[in-house]
Amino acid sequence: MPDTTLPVFLAPVLPETGRAVLDGEEARHAATVRRLRVGEQLVLSDGAGAMARCTVDSVQSGREAQLTLTVVERWTEELPALRVHVAQALAKGDRGELAVELATEAGADAVVPWRAARSVARWEEGTRGGKALARWRATARSAAKQARRAHVPDVTEPVDTRELAQLAATMSRTLVLESGVTRRLIDAELPDTGDILLVVGPEGGITDEELATLQSAGAIAVRLGPAVLRTSTAAAVALGALGALTGRWH
């Protein structure tokens, strides 16, 4: 079994055998922050399932940082048979990024930013919205490395409720987290394979109109437990429950 204590760095292409080179921002982090030295080991990941355990042969620090590596072991991790896409309502400040971080660490396979009616953050078209999306994607990359995941979840372009309902209609099951309903997540019928869409509303909650639109596309509303969770933590808790209730953690 691969060593899960080794730091993970992302690289666009992984060689099957032989030598590899890590450069750019990942190399600067390895050389300056992690202070890796010759003879130490790390794991390279392409973010799409391929991983390689490597030994450091040389380290060049500074602006043009670069590590030369020897591939010791290479493997591929497949996506789970049951995948979970998290539709995360836009949140004010850094709460959205926290939601992405926690959901990624908990195993989300994709994150869909949702422009919910009660979202304070709007992500309007243009530079500001693009920067916010870039922060979410960078957060997912960082969290995937921290969790030593082989797959970095895709963070899609933001959607409105109509587009979210269209996505829900393509899923094996869509679950809307809603504290005011009686049906529990533990009681929901869950598929063994396919795709689940997990919808997390904003701090102000999901409107009746939004819930009706999603239900018309086949979604069901469920609650996690007696407590009301924040939008930044709800997805991670639900992902943990789904990991235990399905074969995702087997």
Claim to verify: residue 119 and residue 222 sit in the same structural domain = yes
Last residue in a domain, options 20, 46, 76: 76
Q: Domain check: are 162 and 236 in the same one?
A: yes
Q: Is residue 162 one of the residues assigned to a domain? A: yes
Q: Give me the domain span that covers residue 159.
A: 82-249
Contact by Cβ (8 Å): 119, 91: yes
Q: Kindly report the CATH number assigned to the domain that includes residue 143.
A: 3.40.1280.10
pLDDT in tens, 175-230: 999 988 999 999 999 999 999 999 999 999 999 999 999 999 999 999 998 888 89
pLDDT band at 126, cuts 50/70/90? confident
Both 161 and 239 in a single domain? Answer: yes
Let me know: does 153 contact 49? Beta carbons within 8 Å: no
How many angstroms separate the first and last alpha carbons of the chain?
16
Q: Which residue has the tokens 């992902």?
A: 239
Whether 109 is in a domain gets the answer yes
Q: Is 90 exceeded by the pLDDT of residue 45?
A: yes
Does 1 fall in a domain? no
Cα distances from 129 to residues 121, 138, 157, 224, in angstroms, run 10, 14, 10, 31
Per residue in 5-44, pLDDT (tens digit) is: 899 999 998 988 899 999 999 999 999 999 999 999 999 9
Residue 75 has pLDDT above 70, yes or no: yes
* Residue 29 token pair: 């982090």
| CB-based contact 103:67 (threshold 8 Å) | no
pTM for the model: 0.92
Which of 60, 3, 25 shows the shortest CA–CA distance to 11? 25
